[in-house]
Amino acid sequence: MTYESYEASDGLMDPPGLSVGWAGTGRMGLAMARRLTAAGVAVAAWNRTAERAAPLAADGAEVVGSLAGLRSRDVVFTTVADEGALERVLFGADGLLAGERPGPGTVVDCSTVSPGASAALREACAERGTAFLAAPVSGNAKAVAAGRLSVVASGERAAYERVRPLLRLLGRSVTYAGDGDSARLVKIAHNLVLGIVAQALAETAVLAEKGGVPRRAYLEFLNGSVLGSEFTRYKTPALVGRDYTPTFTPVLLRKDFGLGLDAARALGVPLPLASATAQLVQACVSTGRGAEDFAVLLELQAAAAGLALAADEGAVSDGLDEVPDGSGAGADG
C-alpha cells in the first residue's frame, strides 16, 4: 500500500482534458463543481431537485435532467447525503450504472459513507467496468470557494492517477491513502474530531462567559494561541453571533458518529470522548435543533449551565478571507 500527499501552493491550474459529470449539487456539490467550471473543465451537472443544479448553468456547466445525461462523461463525481442515496444514484432505476447501458469510466464519490458500503459499491462498479474512487473531503462551501478544501482518496492507483488533476483543482491538498476504502475511515475519524472539538468549544465558551468573560474575548484568545485552527476560527462567528445557518447539521453529524462508533466496535477500539459527544449531538436532534448548524451545541451547553447567552452582533472574521499560510486543515462545518 502506497501513501502520498500533495499540497497546492497557489491558485487553480490548467484544466485536465477530461469531461466531468457532477451528481448532487447541494451546498458542497455546488461549490465544488464551481471550482472545476472556474478552471475551464467541461462539467455536466444533475441534482434530484433540479433547481439546485440550475445556478451552475451561469458558470458554463451543462445542467441535465437525468442521470443518463452523465453516463458518457469520463469522470462523474457524486456528493450525496448517505450510502442509500449513493446506491440510488449509481444503481437506481435511472442510475449511472443501471441496467446494461455503459456508464462513466470512473466514479469519484466525495460523500461520507461506511467502508463496508463503499467496498460493496466498488465491487458492483467494477463488475460493470467502472472504476470507483473514494474521495471524501474536508471543508464547507465557503472553504471550497476560498481554495481551502482537503481531499483524501483511496482506490485503484490507476483511477487515482487519472483523476488527480481534477482533485488538485478542488482545493489545496490531496492525500492518497492507498487502495481499497481506507479513505472512508480517515474521513469518519476526521468527523469524530469535528464533533468533539465543536463540543469542547461550546463547553469552554460557556464556562468563560458564566465566569464573566465575553465569549468573543475567549475565542479571540483561543484562535491566536497554539490551540487555534482554521476550524476554531471559522466557527467563531457562529458561536459569537449565535448564527446557526447550516453548513453541517447535527443530523449529518449524528450519522457520521454512528459510522465512527460502528467502526470502533468492529475494530475493538474504545472511543469514550466520541461516545459522550454522540449523546450531545443526539440531544440537538431530539430537541428540534437538528436542521441548524452543529454549532448549536453551544445553546444546549448554555441551557445545561443555566446561562442566558449574551447578545453579540458585531462583525467577526472567520479567517477564510485571509491569505492562506499553508497551515491547518478544513472541516465540514
Please state the domain extents for the chain.
4-180, 185-304
Which amino acid is present at 45?
A
Answer for the pair 112, 39: CB distance below 8 angstroms, yes or no. Answer: no
Helix (H) or strand (E) holding 30: helix 27-38
pLDDT of res. 332: 66
Write the class of the CATH domain 185-304: mainly alpha
Report the candidate in 248, 106, 224, 210 with the shortest Cα–Cα distance to residue 165.
106
Instruction: Decide if 4-180 and 185-304 have a common fold.
Output: no
Summarised one tens digit per residue, pLDDT across range 278-291 is 999 999 999 999 99
Summarised one tens digit per residue, pLDDT across range 54-93 is 999 999 999 999 999 999 999 999 999 999 999 999 999 9
Cell of 317: 472574521
Task: Give the CA distances from residue 276 to residues 51, 191, 200, 253, in Å, rounded to whole numbers and listed in that order.
Answer: 39, 14, 12, 14
Whole-angstrom distance, CA of residue 244 vs CA of residue 160: 36
Output the pTM of the full model. 0.89
Annotate 59-113 with DSSP letters as a single string: GTPEE-SSGGGGTTSSEEEE--SSHHHHHHHHHSTT-TT-TTS---SEEEE-S--
pLDDT tens for the chain, residues 1 to 333: 456 666 654 444 556 689 999 999 999 999 999 999 999 999 999 999 999 999 999 999 999 999 999 999 999 999 999 999 999 999 999 999 987 778 999 999 999 999 999 999 999 999 999 999 999 999 999 999 999 999 999 999 999 999 999 999 998 999 999 999 999 999 999 999 999 999 999 999 999 999 999 999 999 999 999 999 999 999 999 999 999 999 999 999 999 999 999 999 999 999 999 999 999 999 999 999 999 999 999 999 999 999 999 989 889 999 887 644 433 333 466
Q: 293 in helix, strand or coil?
A: coil
Nearest 5°: the CA angle 43, 49, 53 is 25
pLDDT of res. 313: 86
Report the candidate in 17, 14, 57, 50 with the shortest Cα–Cα distance to residue 34.
57
Residue 147 backbone class (left: φ over 0; alpha: ψ -120 to 50; beta: rest): left
CATH code for the part of the protein at 4-180: 3.40.50.720
If one counts every other C-beta atom within 10 angstroms of the C-beta of residue 266, the result is 11
